[in-house]
Chain A
């Protein structure tokens, strides 16, 4: 398995706040990898850094052997690395279809309509509402837009930051089904979740993050069985 994403000893700061402290991890081609950890552990900071919205002070990030250095965020997506950000961040005042089109911003125009059909097949709900202003959708529908929008770029690696946040259990199941389908279709996935139980059960491997440091790692199964992890994140 080739290493797709290699994060090596990164340190990320917000001014004086040292949010990510010497974190290293990797994601191999075809894997689902999850980062779990309590609120404020630094999960979002790590994903935003990989996506180029934040920059490391020290350490390196390589994606498919390209050294990301301090690439600006808009140059990251075309490499095949998409992020579904925390809190969805869809374009509230644009229509569903326009949101999806924005996801394909860097792709040639003639490929867009096929991809759009793919997304609509996966989320029939969005097809019915393609002309609706995205801000008026329900939370679950908005999450679908956020995921569909990221998928429109045909990423090699899809990073998802708490896709189940604020959703009813039935929608959470649906989101996880989609993650598994995408994985089956060959997309590599880096998943951040509060819902550690769900995340570890779909993940090949996981990393446990505590106050900016990785404190445990293993296969999804191993971490599910780990006493310390159980105690801290799985409610028993």
Chain B
């Protein structure tokens, strides 16, 4: 029974990582950059939802929608102001800029909302008073947050697969991620495709922020940092640039972390996660589903 309960915790934590990792991987695929500020967009999304619901007494759904809208705008603005001017710059320059944007968002949040932790509402997904489904005469409780998180992750994954595989815009996105010059020759506006990708990734970050804080309710300016790094790890784990890779990487990371905490060690769970990553990368340098493409010079 406790195994099942850990399994569900792991799956739902993994789903959160997966949703974040999808944003990381899509942005990497098209802009060939690691957007280290991605994790902090999660934090902004959670704050927006928090204030909408606790400050303005809006219904949770409206809070979530507001978070999605504002994060989408934020992501597009970050790209325009910070990354677009660096399109031709060395990748190290872009990386440092992304780290800068990350700190900018964290410090900005600290000024706006103070460093003291807020307690995120945990009742968004309750049905009446009930927090979850109880099975086996109380032996196992599955929270609604966990169920919603896992289901939403599957839906997002399916939607993205459909989008990139079947729609015109999604195919243009794949074309741009492969060859920007050739895409322009097809009449594809590469800049707006990149903006679009940032918009999708940031909208997903907002969703992840709300789901994560509903399960782990401590909200502060650094809340997005560690999950951001872990989701990045998940994306690399699965093969950066690959959408199913980010999904699988995220789920595996959540499971490994949860089971390590449950059965091996709590203190070292992050170390174990990264050890697994290193082993996977030694065996498969491009990640589980990644294709090894030598870097073009």
Footprint of B on A, CB under 8 Å? 51-53, 72-75, 77-78, 82-83, 85, 89-94, 98, 101-103, 105-106, 109, 149-150, 153
Contact = CB atoms under 8 A, between A and B. Distances in A.
Contacts of B168: 105, 109
A91 B184 contact: no
13 contacts: A51-B185, A74-B187, A74-B190, A75-B187, A77-B187, A85-B181, A91-B175, A91-B178, A94-B178, A98-B171, A102-B171, A105-B186, A149-B186
B272 interface: no
B182 interface: yes
Contact of B187 (A94, A98, A153): A153
B171 A89 contact: no
Contacts, number: 66
Contact of B188 (A52, A83, A105, A149): A105
A83 B187 CA distance: 11
B258 to A, nearest CB: 34
Interface string B222-258: 0000000000000000000000000000000000000
Given A74-B189, A102-B175, 11 more contacts: A52-B184, A73-B184, A74-B184, A75-B187, A89-B181, A91-B175, A91-B178, A93-B174, A94-B174, A102-B172, A102-B186
Contact of A105 (B172, B174, B181): B172
Contacts of B183: 74, 102
Nearest first, the 5 closest Cβ-Cβ pairs linking A and B are A73-B184, A106-B187, A77-B187, A89-B182, A105-B186
A90 B185 contact: no
B179 interface: yes
Contacts of B291: 93
Contacts of B190: 74
B178 A82 contact: no
B179 A89 contact: yes
Contacts of A94: 171, 174-175, 178
Interface residues of B, number: 18
B108 to A, nearest CB: 33
B171 A101 contact: yes
B179 A91 contact: yes
A106 B178 CA distance: 19
B169 to A, nearest CB: 10
Nearest to A149: B186
Nearest to B190: A74
Given A74-B190, A89-B179, A83 B174 contact: no
A222 B94 CA distance: 53
A77 B185 contact: yes
Interface string B183-224: 111111110000000000000000000000000000000000
Q: Which of A72, A93, A101, A105 has the most CB of B within 10 A?
A: A105
Contacts of B185: 51, 53, 73, 77, 82-83, 85, 89, 150
B187 A105 contact: yes
A91 B182 contact: yes
A202 B187 CA distance: 29
A89 B186 CA distance: 11
A106 B184 CA distance: 11
Interface string B86-112: 000000000000000000000000000
Contact of B184 (A53, A98, A109, A153): A53
A101 B169 CA distance: 12
Contacts of A90: 182
B186 A77 contact: yes
Given A74-B188, A105-B188, A153-B187, A93 B178 contact: yes
Contacts of B181: 53, 73, 85, 89
A101 B178 CA distance: 15
Nearest to A48: B181
Nearest to B291: A93
A185 to B, nearest CB: 21
B22 to A, nearest CB: 18
A130 B243 CA distance: 23
Given A102-B171, A102-B175, A72 B188 contact: no
A85 to B, nearest CB: 6
A77 B184 CA distance: 9
B26 to A, nearest CB: 15
Contacts of A91: 174-175, 178-179, 182
Contacts of B179: 89, 91
Contacts of A83: 185
Nearest to A90: B182
A111 B175 CA distance: 21
A29 to B, nearest CB: 22
